[in-house]
Structure 1
Amino acid sequence: MRLRRSVIALMAVLGLALVSACNGDDKGNQADTGLQKVNYLTSFNTFGREAYAYVALDKGYFKDAGFDVKITPGTGTVDVMKLVAGGQADYGIGDFTAVVITLGKQKLPVTTVGMVHQKSLAAIMSLKGYGIEKPQDLVGQTIADQPGSTNTVMFPVYAKAVHIDPKSVTFLPSPPPALPKLLASGKVKGIGQFVVGKPLIQKADPTHREPVTLAYGDVLPELYGNAIITRSDLAKDHPDQVKKFTGALLKGLQDTVTDPEGSAAILKKYVPDTDLAVATAELNIMKDYTKPKNFDGPLGDVDVNRVKTIISLLEQSEAIQKGAVTPDDVVTMSLAPKS
């Protein structure tokens, strides 16, 4: 009994400490600002591709919508989903296909409410001279990537589409910051990387060899890229809040698409070690994935028929079991942006 009381007391202290940490920031508490505190996770670190959230923060779009937003670097789709599901974050960004695969294997209380990219950014990157020029060259190779990253989770789907055995490729667990240098050094012949990572790869290689990009979206054009993730209960109980937050974030995304250079400069204000040239180049590449040339829907658009196609594709490739998820399990269509 004494042990039980001690455990309860310890949990209470930790709980209070957590609440205190969540409520404290440089802008004061909620009573002073009247703003709803929100914790937001980027999809993967603070690369140039994540600039739109900082743009929304810097230009006051979040504040105008009633939010005091804290942005924290994410570490891949699966981790972002788990942190949102556990309440450590309210919103996050993750690859939609990886979200569907994850929810097909474990029931997490999360949903998506809009798309950042209308085309998948996932890819395997190599360098000229390493012998990887086409998907079939991946057989027998070791690819470095963060465990749980989009590229790793989706690889079996990509492998099936290009007719290679996913087990013929070995993935070496590696932290994101180390990936470009691992590739440049030749310790691995390929890394998991978003297509917008090309400028970063070029900078990391002292000899400036041309990167080789094996983009998942080239063989799987149906796939979306990153999506906006939130908790299922937040979407159900506070739909107006979710719409306002999504709207503010997408305003930042629109400005980023319109002005990549200015958006990279804003990112550098919040992340001082940002390389402006690399971040700007990333954002210029991202334009065509956020608003492809054949896309005429609203920014953030979600097409339920396309979601059905993605689920069917994942079932056919055995990434998920048939009937494991439905569109309603992975996206809240009522909260998705509409024309």
Structure 2
Amino acid sequence: MKMTFMKAAAVALSALVAVPAAQAADLEKMTYLYPAPDFLPAFTPFQVARTKGYYEDEGLDVNWVIGKGGADVAKQVAVGNAELGGGIGDTPIIVRANGLPVKGVLLMGGKALTQMVIRSDSGATDMTSLKGKKVGVIAYQDTTYYNLLAALAANGMTKEDIDIQAVGAGGMVQLMISGDLDAISGTPDWAAAIEGAGVDVAVQPINDMFPAMAQAVLTSEDTMKNKPEVVTGFVQATLHGLKDVMTDPEGSAKLLAESIPQYAGKEAFLLEVMNRYNSLVYAVDDMDSLGTFDEARMKAVAEFYLDAGIVSSVEPAADYYSNDFVTAE
């Protein structure tokens, strides 16, 4: 019996629908923990990669979960509650000293995430002139605080020379705008938000004073051993998104403004933030090295953290990270 046109069309449509379903079934399920809300501008490389389907292209079906900061993310990753998570390049130095077998597998830039953001009307223009001023950090067990201590030390100062206040992530921008803080150890998007509120600021990169690090993707030694294809796929997809932000910030800002509700109408702000990250955080001398950790940089940070009493012990610098998943073909 000849198949009718309607039946043939129905069969063809069923086949087309079945392909995406089959593809989805073939994807490897995994969980990624953000250290903060995923719509924050600091996570635009991930959002670009998600929107463009780069994770699916790598064979991954990612369950995106919001954690409670980099240290908590590292703990969850270490015990196997998530395959990968977000932190800072120095996070393994902190958590491995506490017995958590976590390593960095992708460093999102060649410079430091944190910057000194100083109100222009504070009378201070650099670190040395902040003496006696109120400086905000997220918490006293946070990279913004640790990097501030390092910047002070680089200028012959100590924490006693300034009034350091732990104000939480929400207070960093708000208290700078209100004038209750003179400066913060913060991120490029916070500086952009403060300036967007009409407050003039000076930005002094901590990278110029101390070899602090950018954001990082973390995983456990167990996941590295037992799920290397998952780690490789996630790292490669994220690196693809990072490269897109670096090479086409205009297109990336437009894409996110059109596709993510929290970014609607904020294309200009996103572009400004991406440009700041590109110059202050993501930039590397050689694009072939993008995503990799530098042993000498890691060693310098670890030694300072030990000397400052932030950690009680350190390991060889190479034990804190692996570049294998960045360089994988």
The TM-score, its normalising length taken from structure 1, stands at: 0.79
Name which of 275, 285, 297 aligns with 1:294.
285
- d(CA) in 2 for partners of 1:169, 1:115: 31
Give the corresponding residue for 2:123.
Answer: 131
Name which of 250, 253, 267 aligns with 1:264.
253
- d(CA) in 2 for partners of 1:210, 1:255: 30
Query: Radius of gyration: which is bigger?
Result: 2
| Corresponding pairs, count | 306
Give the corresponding residue for 1:21.
Answer: none
Give the corresponding residue for 1:329.
Answer: 319
Name which of 274, 287, 298 aligns with 1:283.
274
1:279 Cα offset (Å)? 1.7
1:277 Cα offset (Å)? 1.9
1:98 Cα offset (Å)? 4.3
Structure 1 residue matching 2:106: 3-state secondary structure: strand
Give the corresponding residue for 2:203.
Answer: 213
Give the corresponding residue for 1:116.
Answer: 108
Quick check: 310-319 or 38-47, which moved more?
A: 310-319
Change (3 A) 1:296 1:62: closer
Describe how 1:1-339 pairs up with structure 2 within 5 A. 33-45=25-37, 46-100=39-93, 102-103=94-95, 105-147=97-139, 148-204=141-197, 208-220=198-210, 222-268=211-257, 269-273=259-263, 275-289=266-280, 292=283, 294-321=285-312, 324-337=314-327
Change (3 A) 1:194 1:182: same
* Unmatched runs of 5 consecutive residues or more in structure 2: 1-19
Structure 2 residue identity aligned to 1:39: T
Alignment check: 8 A CA contact 1:62 1:245 kept: yes
Identity %: 23
Structure 1 residue identity aligned to 2:102: V
Quick check: 304-313 or 183-192, which moved more?
A: 304-313
Structure 2 residue identity aligned to 1:192: S
Alignment check: 8 A CA contact 2:112 2:281 kept: no
Alignment check: 8 A CA contact 1:35 1:67 kept: yes
Quick check: 30-39 or 149-158, which moved more?
A: 30-39
The TM-score, its normalising length taken from structure 2, stands at: 0.81
Alignment check: 8 A CA contact 1:113 1:333 kept: yes
- d(CA) in 1 for partners of 2:33, 2:256: 15
What is the root-mean-square deviation of aligned Cα atoms in Å?
Answer: 2.9
* Unmatched runs of 5 consecutive residues or more in structure 1: 1-27
Quick check: 109-118 or 325-334, which moved more?
A: 325-334
Structure 2 residue identity aligned to 1:122: T
Change (3 A) 1:104 1:134: farther
1:71 Cα offset (Å)? 3.0
Change (3 A) 1:169 1:97: farther
1:85 Cα offset (Å)? 2.5
